[in-house]
Structure 1
Amino acid sequence: MSLHYLPPVKPSAIALGLVFNHGIELAVLSPIFGQTYQRAKASNTKEEFIKSREATSAIAAWGTSFVGSALQSYSVGALINATATLSYKGAAYLGGLIFAATAAPTFIAQIFHERRPLETVGVNVLAKLFETVGLSVFLTWWGTRTNPFE
C-alpha cells in the first residue's frame, strides 16, 4: 500500500489538531470517566477494577476518541490544503460545511425523531461546532502545508 496518494499535511498540525479535538471529546465524555473513577474508588483491587464494565467502556471511549480525533485532524488539514484555504473566514465556512455534512442530520434526527432533550442536543451541537469550525480555524492559524511555498 502506498501513501503517496494521500495529501500531505504538516505533522505538527495533525498532532495539535488531535490535542484540540481530543480535549473537546474528553469534556463531552467526562460523565463516563466520572463513573469510572467512582468504580475505581469502590473496587477492592486493581484486578477487580480492570475487569469492570466501567473500565472497559472508558478505555474504549478514550481509544476511539483518540483515533477519531487524529483522523479528523488529518482530514480537515487535507481539505484546507486541497481547497487552498488561507483566511479564517474561509476556514470557518469550510468547517461549517463539514458540520452541515457530517453532524447536522444527526442532530435534526435527535430533536424531531428521537425527541431528545434540547439541552443534551445543544451540548452535543456546541461540541461538534468546536470540532469542525473551531478545528478548521485553529489549523488555518497553525498552518497545514508541509511546504508553504509550493
Structure 2
Amino acid sequence: MSLHYLPPVKPSAIALGTVFNHGIELAVMTPLFGQTYQRAKLANTKEEFIRSKEASSAAVAWGTSLVGSALQSYGVGALINATGTLSYKGAAYLGGLIFAATSAPAYLSQLLVEKRPLDTVAVAAVAKTFETLGLSLFLTWWGTRTNPFD
C-alpha cells in the first residue's frame, strides 16, 4: 500500500503546530479567561469523562490529545498546500471555514438547544478559533511545503 496520495507537509510544521495547539491552553487561555475557561472545560462531557478516570486514563487521554493535535496540524497543513494558500488573508479564510465546518454547529446547539451559559460557550469558541484560524495563520507563517518551489 502506498501513501503517495497523502499531501506532504513539512515535519517541522506538524511538530510546531502540535506545540501551538497545546500551548494555546497553557499560555493563552488559562491566564486570560481563568475560572470561566475551567468551567468551559468541565462543561464538555468528554472532559468530564476523562476527569472521572484514574491517573492512567488521564495519561492515555493526554496522549490521544497530543496525537489528535498532530493530526489536526497535518490536516491544516495539507489543506494549506492543497489549496495553494500563500497569504495570511487566504489562511484566515481557510481557518474560518475549518472552524465553521467543525465547531460552529456545536456551539450554536449549546447556546440555543442546551441553553448553556453564554460566557462558557464563548470561551470554548474562542479557544477553538485559536486552534483553527490561529493554527492556519501560524502554519502559513512557518511554511508547510516540503519543497518551497511547489
TM-score (structure 2 length as normaliser): 0.79
1:62 partner SS:
helix
Residues matched between the structures, number: 130
1:94 partner SS:
helix
Q: Which runs of 5+ in 1 are unaligned?
A: 32-51
- The percentage of counterpart residues that share the same residue type is 77
Letter in 2 for 1:142: W
Q: How far apart, in 1, do the equivalents of 2:25 and 2:88 lie?
A: 23
Query: Aligned runs of 1:50-129 on 2, under 5 Å?
Result: 53-129=53-129
Partner of 1:13: 13
Q: How far apart, in 2, do the equivalents of 1:77 and 1:60 lie?
A: 26
Q: How far apart, in 2, do the equivalents of 1:54 and 1:125 lie?
A: 28
Coordinate RMSD, CA, aligned: 2.1
Partner of 1:44: none
CA deviations over 1:2-56 (Å, ceiling 9, x no partner): 211100000000000000012225557x95xxxxxxxxxxxxxxxxxxxx93414
Partner of 1:39: none
Q: How far apart, in 2, do the equivalents of 1:86 and 1:79 lie?
A: 12
Contact 1:80 1:144 in 2 (8 A): yes
Letter in 2 for 1:4: H
TM-score (structure 1 length as normaliser): 0.79
Contact 1:25 1:65 in 2 (8 A): no
Contact 1:95 1:133 in 2 (8 A): yes
Q: How far apart, in 2, do the equivalents of 1:53 and 1:5 lie?
A: 39
Q: How far apart, in 2, do the equivalents of 1:12 and 1:87 lie?
A: 19
